[in-house]
Amino acid sequence: MSILKHTLAYHHDSVRLFERVAHEPWAMLLDSGQMIEPSTGEPGSEYGQYDILVAKPIATLVTTGEHTKIREGGDEQFSKEDPFVLLNKLLSRYKAPAVDVPFAGGAMGYFSYDLGRRLETINDKNPAEDIPEMMVGIYDWAVIVDHRKQCSFLISHGLSVKTQEAWDDLCRLFDAPYVPIETSFVVNSAVEANFSKAEYQKAFDQVKAYIKSGDCYQVNLAQRFHADVEGDGWAAYKKLREISPAPFMAYMQLPHNAEECFQVLSNSPERFVQVVGDYVETRPIKGTRPRSDDATEDLAYATALQNSAKDQAENLMIVDLLRNDIGKNCEIGSVTVEKLFQLQSFANVHHLVSIISAKLHQHSTVIDLLKGCFPGGSITGAPKVRAMQIIEELEPNRRGIYCGAVGYISFDGKMDTNIAIRTAVVSKKQLSYYAGGGIVADSNGPNEYLETLDKASTMVKLLKFFKRRD
């Protein structure tokens, strides 16, 4: 089957295309944040070329606890097998030649932090979240918006007969004149956290005690925030991308059941794992300072971060962890640290970013690589398993999607995933999100607490915008 491709009108704002399907169950938008500055070789400068949007999957995988529900065509089955193995098996049935765009069909969805319980021994202290641990759709078509070439197109490998039959209807859907969706979103309560400042300090002190006793070198401690809301999560996402564009933004409209959906709003700045051909890349973030509206103060924050021995040490610990993680499925001797401690600045914070590359082993799949790195070391700590055990002991809630991953695995073998930080879930009239930071031997409790608030500032600004004003 030759590739199906239909040219669409280009618009800088991909909302104009996505709103045709935004309220479909399993609709997803991987949004580059429209950061289209010319590449300088520095972290973030090459982002922003592609937005990818999908809907109407030909198969789905939903993992809740020990069971994964697989729907394909009209068939439905349940399995207790490893969700990564199940995804590998399902994707292996769809073979397609390489194309010169990131995605013309394949798997897209989220892998929650709590999916890590299937991989490591972690005591289950906290109750499960009300959403599944993994939700992945298999899509046979996508709309690609290329901001560098300023073109848009509908594309498919045409592996499903349903896609071939519906192709003309899909073309008409995305060719039709744009009609904006008018929806509302309201925040009905103050934001509450699952730690008071004193409780956070107590948990921080316990982490420091574990570090002193030799249990670990670094632990990422996070707090959960939530507020009561009502209305359309898509309206909130549109405002989020306006307030704070980031290179790995995502929106997902996912079914709780036949009548009700929940929404994922991701504003992530961090790449988890990317694969193109056999080239593997990961870009851990460690080290944070706030932004300032005052240019002199903002530069001082950035300079202090770049010169911070503590933040560099924190970053280096995670670089070493990720070198080991990607090395499990990459050619021996191919793992290379391309850049260390590069400054990358976003709307609300400055970060230190490092770049690690490798060559995928010929006997490993991209899903083997993803599983071998999961969950990301930058949001657990080192050593990873002990850090995860400490997180479970000290945090009052399970993390859900936060610190998991969002992204795609294409039929032709490409993969790109984010670390799902700066990510909110709108479910059952509540919006929840997390913010955390890595604690090391010389961390300061009050400073770490303020860092979580700095990282949460974009979501705070978003909620203030929608606050009910009676």
- 384 near 72, Cβ under 8 Å? no
Instruction: Report the chain's terminal Cα–Cα distance, integer Å.
Output: 58
- 106 near 138, Cβ under 8 Å? yes
- 406 near 250, Cβ under 8 Å? yes
Write out the two tokens for 308.
Answer: 């911070």
* Radius of gyration of the CA atoms of the chain, in A: 21
> Could you give the CA distance from residue 36 to residue 45 in angstroms, rounded to a whole number?
8
Catalytic residue among 286, 384, 414, 455: 286
Catalytic residue among 270, 314, 395, 451: 270
Secondary structure (3-state) at 81: coil
> pLDDT by residue (tens digit) across 299-356?
998 898 888 888 888 888 889 889 999 999 999 999 999 999 888 887 778 888 899 9
Question: What pTM value is reported for the model?
Answer: 0.93
Measured in whole angstroms, the distance separating CA 206 from the mean position of its chain's CA atoms is 29
* Residue ranges covered by each domain of the chain: 4-178+185-465
The answer to whether residue 286 is catalytic is yes
**DSSP letters along 117-152, please?**
GGTS-----SPPPSS-SEEEEEES-EEEEETTTTEE
Write out the two tokens for 291.
Answer: 């932004």
The answer to whether residue 270 is catalytic is yes
Q: Does domain 4-178+185-465 have CATH number 3.40.50.720?
A: no
| Greatest CA separation for the chain | 65
The residues, any chain, with a CB within 8 Å of residue 399's CB and separated by 6 or more, are: 112, 113, 114, 222, 224, 391, 434
> Could you give the CA distance from residue 314 to residue 186 in angstroms, rounded to a whole number?
39
pLDDT digit of tens for each residue in the chain (470 aa)?
A: 579 999 999 988 999 999 999 999 999 999 987 643 433 444 444 457 899 999 999 999 999 999 999 999 889 999 999 999 999 999 999 989 999 999 999 999 999 999 999 998 888 888 888 899 999 999 999 999 998 899 999 999 999 999 999 999 999 999 999 999 889 999 999 999 999 999 999 999 999 999 999 999 999 999 999 999 999 999 999 999 998 888 899 999 999 887 899 999 999 989 999 999 999 999 988 888 888 888 899 899 889 888 888 888 888 888 988 999 999 999 999 999 999 988 888 777 888 889 999 999 999 999 999 999 999 988 898 899 999 999 999 999 999 999 999 999 999 999 999 999 999 999 999 999 999 999 999 899 999 999 899 889 899 999 999 998 86
Tokens 């765009």 — which residue? 101
Q: How many CA atoms lie within 13 A of 266 on its CB side?
A: 32
Amino acid at 65: G
> pLDDT by residue (tens digit) across 219-266?
999 999 999 999 999 999 999 999 888 889 999 999 988 789 999 999
